[in-house]
Amino acid sequence: MRRMNTRQATIRRAILLTLIVPVAACSSSNQSIPTLTLPTSTRSHTPTPTLSATPEANATQTPPSCLVQPGTVEEGTLESTKPPQGYFIYLPPCYPETTDKRYPVLYLLHGQTYRADQWIRLGAVDVTNELILSGETMPFIIVFPDDRYWNQPSGAGFGERVTNDLIPYIDRTYRTNPDPRYRAVGGLSRGAGWALQLGLSRPDLFSIIGLHSLAVFQSDAYRVEGWIVSIPPASRPRLYMDIGDNDRELLSARQMEARFTQFDLPHEWHLYSGDHTEEYWYAHVEEYIRWYAEQFSS
């Protein structure tokens, strides 16, 4: 595995970002589309945590070094799957030192035409470091699976690779908390489509679902009701939905939100100003990460 500093992983380059091609219109992916440039991240990577003083503590007491260092990002590949399943994984501050501790896990799925580093580029790791090092949230692990084969026949098997191969591997290899109450899945656009499918069809694996600019798979639109009614009441997940008011997927997202309401599925619905772009997701990534962190703590 290759280990990367989070500053290198997120600010190493200025990028030109393209609008995501709709899931339902893969045949038009070669058309010329507008480009956007994200602002350079200004987030601090090593905030100093606030420590509570005790009667025995003196003014010169220094916190353990791991409490002021950001977490790390590793890259890996499962060669046992066909095709091989790549991923990045974020390990929180103090992970190497806390050998007796197990952590919640968040699986974040990227959008169509992008790669596993999309969420990292958008600032997810930076925000997580800030929240953990400032003491605002408990530490947790993030896995970023790669869905680069979305436009090939093997792309349809991405969900099975994640649930049948990647999750068991992550649980064996890293100190995760395998209880589904501490496992979340979320995604952007097509990644949100996968999060919807995996989260609702596998309540034995996930109890927290994030749907950001949801692009529903056409075949799943008719399966959602069956998934919801088959979930045991005690295993019903918590959901978060958000989308821009100028997003081409807005109508289908509203229809999905109406189904959640119809079946009393706990969820949040947020309609913001914006489009189906990385610029929109960059503006809201801190809100997303804060929500996932709150669910792990509740």
CATH number, domain of 179, equals 3.40.50.1820
Bridge partners, 269 (sequence order): 241
Q: Crossing angle, helix 278-297 and helix 124-133, to 10 degrees?
A: 40
Position 63 scores a pLDDT of 60
* Domain assignment present for 203: yes
* Domain assignment present for 50: no
- Comparing CA positions, the residue from 100, 130, 205, 128 lying closest to residue 163 is 205
Split into its structural domains, the chain has a count of 1
- Euclidean distance between CA atoms 8 and 245, whole angstroms: 33
* Domain assignment present for 55: no
Owning domain of residue 234: 2-40+64-297
- Euclidean distance between CA atoms 163 and 166, whole angstroms: 6
CA atoms within 13 A on the CB side of 43: 25
Position 30 scores a pLDDT of 35
Position 141 scores a pLDDT of 98
Q: List per-residue pLDDT tens for the chain, 298 residues long.
A: 444 444 343 334 333 333 333 333 333 333 333 334 454 444 443 333 333 333 333 334 446 788 889 999 999 999 999 999 999 999 999 999 999 999 999 999 999 999 999 999 999 999 999 999 999 999 999 999 999 988 887 678 999 999 999 999 999 999 999 999 999 999 999 999 999 999 999 999 999 999 999 999 999 999 999 999 999 999 999 999 999 999 999 999 999 999 999 999 999 999 999 999 999 999 999 999 999 999 999 8
Estimate to the nearest angstrom the gap between the alpha carbon of 6 and the chain centroid. Answer: 16
Q: How many residues does the chain have?
A: 298
- Please give the DSSP secondary-structure letter assigned to residue 183: E
- Euclidean distance between CA atoms 289 and 37, whole angstroms: 22
Contacts of 8 (CB under 8 A, 6+ apart): none
Position 65 scores a pLDDT of 81
Cis peptide before 145 (omega within 30 of 0): no
- Please give the DSSP secondary-structure letter assigned to residue 236: P
* Domain assignment present for 57: no
* Domain assignment present for 265: yes
* Domain assignment present for 108: yes
* Domain assignment present for 101: yes
- Euclidean distance between CA atoms 115 and 104, whole angstroms: 23
* Domain assignment present for 13: yes
